[in-house]
């Protein structure tokens, strides 16, 4: 069975009322009409039993072996929680005007970092439901343990992807307590990359006992001129 705290890569498909709402399978997402081009599909790495997935999935993963696949039904309290009436709140219309938002029924919004959905609009007030959209629902998951990640370099690469999924081509070297991560040229221009680097470094230092420091290396190379560009320069 998978040990608590071990890094494992998992694949999963999540269903509610027999409707797919989440998956790591790109082809299945396209087939079921929930494909999101902003998503990075494929098995994802987590640290088993540490709350990085739904509570019910966390429990099941610790009972499974590598290569095993299970189908589990999770009650609300082990999935997205029970519906909480106190999370349905009236928000003044002026709050939306300040944020430049035109309230529309059903519109997903985020207020003070909390996601919600507009339920109704009446008399200068907007009723917003801050419950998760799947709160109170029973969900079904098909989950598979693809592998346990023991190699330190691979673990570092997966930790990078945990925080920045599109950074899947980093180079990693570990020597004398220093973890060096070479980032691609586009990395410095990614949103919130500095905050992500801090989180990545903290995670690596927490997980690798012999790691003392983490270095991020950003390299910019001179671009080679094409033959056409050289011809244009000569003609000038």
Q: If phi over 0 gives left and psi between -120 and 50 gives alpha, with beta otherwise, what is residue 126?
A: beta
Mean pLDDT of 22-43: 97
Q: What is the pLDDT of residue 165?
A: 93
Q: What is the pLDDT of residue 206?
A: 97
CATH architecture assigned to 151-224? 2-Layer Sandwich (3.30)
Q: What percent of the chain has pLDDT over 70?
A: 95
Q: What is the mean pLDDT of the chain?
A: 94
Q: What is the CATH number of domain 85-129?
A: 2.40.10.330
Q: Checking DSSP bridges between strand 178-183 and strand 213-218, what pairing results, if any?
A: parallel
pTM (two decimals): 0.85
**In whole angstroms, what is the distance from residue 220 CA to residue 189 CA?**
12
CATH for 1-82+134-149 (3.20.20.70, 3.40.1180.10, 3.10.50.40, 3.40.50.1820): 3.10.50.40
- Tell me the two tokens of residue 134: 């799947």
Q: What is the pLDDT of residue 15?
A: 98
Domain spans of the chain, in order of start: 1-82+134-149, 85-129, 151-224
């Amino acid at each position: 069975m998978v040990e608590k705290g071990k890094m494992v890569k998992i694949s999963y498909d999540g269903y509610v009322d027999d409707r797919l709402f989440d998956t790591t399978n790109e082809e299945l997402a396209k087939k079921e009409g929930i494909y999101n081009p902003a998503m990075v599909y494929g098995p994802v790495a987590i640290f088993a039993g540490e709350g990085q997935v739904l509570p019910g999935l966390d429990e099941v993963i610790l009972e499974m072996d590598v290569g095993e696949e299970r189908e589990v039904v999770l009650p609300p309290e082990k999935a997205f929680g029970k519906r909480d009436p106190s999370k349905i709140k009236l928000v003044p219309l002026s709050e939306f005007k300040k944020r430049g938002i035109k309230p529309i029924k059903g519109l997903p919004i985020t207020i003070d970092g909390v996601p919600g959905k507009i339920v109704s609009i009446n008399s200068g007030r907007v009723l917003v439901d801050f419950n998760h959209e799947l709160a109170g629902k029973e969900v079904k998951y098909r989950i598979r343990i693809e592998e346990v990640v023991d190699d330190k370099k691979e673990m570092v690469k997966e930790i990078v992807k945990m925080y920045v999924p599109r950074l899947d081509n980093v180079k990693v070297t570990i020597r004398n307590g220093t973890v060096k991560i070479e980032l691609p040229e586009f990395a410095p221009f990614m949103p919130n990359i500095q905050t992500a680097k801090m989180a990545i470094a903290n995670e690596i230092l927490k997980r690798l006992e012999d790691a003392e420091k983490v270095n991020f290396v950003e390299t910019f190379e001179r671009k080679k001129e094409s033959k056409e560009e050289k011809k244009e320069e000569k003609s000038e």
